[in-house]
Amino acid sequence: MEKNPSTVATVERWTDYEWVLEGPQDGNPFRDVTLTARFTNLSRSLDVAGFYDGDGRYIVRLMPDMTGTWQGVTASNSPELDNRTLTLTCTTASPGNHGPVRVSNTWHFSYEDGTPYLPFGTTCYVWNHQGDALEEQTIRTLDEAPFNKMRMCVFPKHYTFNSNEPEYYPFVRNQDGSWDFTRPEPAFYRHLERRIRDLRDRGIEADLILFHPYDRWGFAAMTPEQDDAYLDYVVRRLAAYRNVWWSFANEYDLMTKTTADWERLAQLVVTRDPWQHLRSIHNCRHFYDHTRPWITHCSIQRTDNYRTSEYVNEWRQRYRKPVVVDECAYEGNISNNWGNITAEEMVRRFWEGAVRGGYVGHGETYMHPQDILWWSKGGTLHGQSPAR
């Protein structure tokens, strides 16, 4: 038997293929082992970085975006992982698989196969941190709901109505209980990936929030080096999912990072994401500079209690990018002004934004005896705005 036999496989277009390789377990493979692969199909080549998945498992996750035969070859500082080869046949996409979403005609979106994409988004910030029972209820709700985009966080959330601990943490702990930020927790990511695939299989884009301020664990206060290592690992693991969008932050302006930090993080993703997924950064009080070239579309929270959708046409002209109002306030009955509008007013905001050429998203904050508010944890919908 050959020591390193070449792998032969088939996958459909725009779908993640996992090329699994065995490699060293000693030391800290997350930090010490390099692994990239070059895939070539006729005139085209694509460089993809692999990642360590624990237990000696290394994965190069590829989303082939052209049908035909891709020849892959690895490069690594570990001889076991170096110069391994793959022949991957990419077949045409099956119905319902239209590829990643791209900006189209300045202010709009379409899938890579040309099918128009009109975002009807919702927000369940940490539905993926609620344990399987509630998460699966959320999925059943999404099966019946009209949404095709979900804003959700990588990290767990600490906030009013959000006091529970998550099931998985993104890093391994040191013996003293502190985080070892050099060792991501593969189980955390495998769970996140499962939920991203659940969305993908339902035609729902995962508008993935990479950083956010509502934190009691320290994930909002990592050093620049820790942020970079985290983000690099996220891109290596998740970029091959066609439904991923990169939302650099929820409410970036409530975090301690500087503009230079955000720009550095953005450049990291721009240079390392082989598929150039959509990129945005969401504000609380003040917009980020949406003219920055790395920002593909505006992801906006209202900056005034009442008016938001009314500004869509101005923002279109100012930024000349798609305008997605991800928080125009939420249908609900909590005491905060951002979560107590009626279904009628919510729907009015949707239409106001739509006729002005933008895309206004949904969210719902009805009080719940177990604090299961759709806006954060998912579960079931109580309001009336989707049906309207």
| Interaction site with a second copy (CB under 8 A) | 42-48, 66, 102, 104-105, 108-111, 113-116, 270-274, 276
Contact yes or no for 256/222 (Cβ under 8 A): no
* Residue with Cβ nearer a second copy (110 or 313): 110
At closest approach, how far in Å is the CB of 381 from a second copy?
31
CA pair distance 257, 221, nearest whole angstrom: 9
At closest approach, how far in Å is the CB of 92 from a second copy?
9
Cβ partners under 8 Å of residue 284, min gap 6: 251, 252, 253, 254, 301
* Residue with Cβ nearer a second copy (74 or 128): 74
At closest approach, how far in Å is the CB of 68 from a second copy?
8
At closest approach, how far in Å is the CB of 311 from a second copy?
24
The one-letter amino acid code at 78 reads S
At closest approach, how far in Å is the CB of 37 from a second copy?
11
* Residue with Cβ nearer a second copy (25 or 40): 40
User: Tokens at residue 183, please?
Assistant: 């060792």
* Residue with Cβ nearer a second copy (46 or 126): 46
Contact yes or no for 296/279 (Cβ under 8 A): yes
At closest approach, how far in Å is the CB of 200 from a second copy?
19
At closest approach, how far in Å is the CB of 275 from a second copy?
8
User: Tokens at residue 161, please?
Assistant: 């109505």
Phi and psi angles of residue 129, each rounded to the nearest 5 degrees, phi first: -115, 25
* Residue with Cβ nearer a second copy (101 or 204): 101
At closest approach, how far in Å is the CB of 131 from a second copy?
36
* Residue with Cβ nearer a second copy (32 or 113): 113
* Residue with Cβ nearer a second copy (114 or 131): 114
* Residue with Cβ nearer a second copy (92 or 256): 92
* Residue with Cβ nearer a second copy (44 or 194): 44
CA pair distance 38, 52, nearest whole angstrom: 17
* Residue with Cβ nearer a second copy (183 or 321): 321
At closest approach, how far in Å is the CB of 114 from a second copy?
3
Contact yes or no for 338/329 (Cβ under 8 A): yes
Contact yes or no for 243/200 (Cβ under 8 A): yes
Complete edge-to-edge strand list for the sheet that includes strand 108-111: 101-104, 108-111, 116-117
Cβ neighbour number for residue 45 with a 10 Å cutoff: 11
At closest approach, how far in Å is the CB of 148 from a second copy?
16
